[in-house]
Structure formats: structure tokens, C-alpha cells
Amino acid sequence: MKMSELKPARGAVKRCKIVGKGPGSGHGKTATRGNKGQNARTGGGVRLGFEGGQTPIYRKLPIRGFKSIDKISFDVVNVEQLSAFENGSTVTPEDLKKKGMVGGGDPVKILGNGDLKSKLTVKAHAFSASAIEKIKSAGGTTEVL
């Protein structure tokens, strides 16, 4: 088989609708727009969400909630999850991503849920006070990136 012999599958390529090209096209005279009215005119039609003058649904529904543009969302890791790393190692966000503990898109925050037995050097973007206390009590250190 050669490149010149390739053809799309039967029915995959469809001829585009030709409008306004006379009665022989099958879409002549009014070009599928009907007779007169707002939608038959050039530039006619209604805006998005318009419901014929009735109060549109987006105005009937209440506005709920608020999304702050300044909010920082963190990938959260608890202290007990850090037990997966061996004693004396350095834990970075890249290491946490390799182990599947974080997604890798957001900054990492270490929270103090659980206990830590091994001595670790933990590097993250943020720590809770209880997490810092637990890591230091296990003999490790924390470093904010």
C-alpha cells in the first residue's frame, strides 16, 4: 500500500451543506432560514441565554458561594505518611510525587496527623506547627522552600 492509495473510511467524509445557491441545490431561495423574521436576517438571532423575553434561568437562580482569587490550595501530606521514607533521608516534594503521595501541581504542606519514628530532613512549602514539633521530636529537621 502506498500513501497515494490511502482513502478515508466510507462515510467518514461528508459533503458540506451548500446554501443559497439556487433551487437546484435543495437549499435555495431562503437558504434554510425560513421566511422573514429575526433569524432570517443578516446578523439576526438572539444572544446566548435569551429565552424570548421571559426571565432567563441564570437570573432566576440564586448566586451561591464565593471563590477567592487569592486562595492557595496545597497538596497535603500527614506526618505519619512520612514513615514510608527510610531513617536519615531527605524528603522533598519530588520524592513525595514519586511515591504517589502528592499530585505535583500544587505546593506541598506537611500536617501533624499521626506519629513519626524516623529521623528525616523534610523540605516543603509549608508546615503546620504540630508537624514541625513532631518532626523535631523525632530528631529531624524542617526546611521551608
Q: What is the pLDDT of residues 67-119, one digit of tens each?
A: 899 988 888 888 888 888 888 888 888 888 888 888 878 889 989 888 888 88
CATH fit for domain 75-144, picks 1.10.3720.10, 3.100.10.10, 3.30.1450.10, 3.40.50.150:
3.100.10.10
Largest CA distance in the chain: 88
Report d(CA 68, CA 76) in Å as an integer.
Answer: 20
Q: What is the mean pLDDT of residues 8-29?
A: 88
The pLDDT confidence band at residue 20, using thresholds 50, 70 and 90, is confident
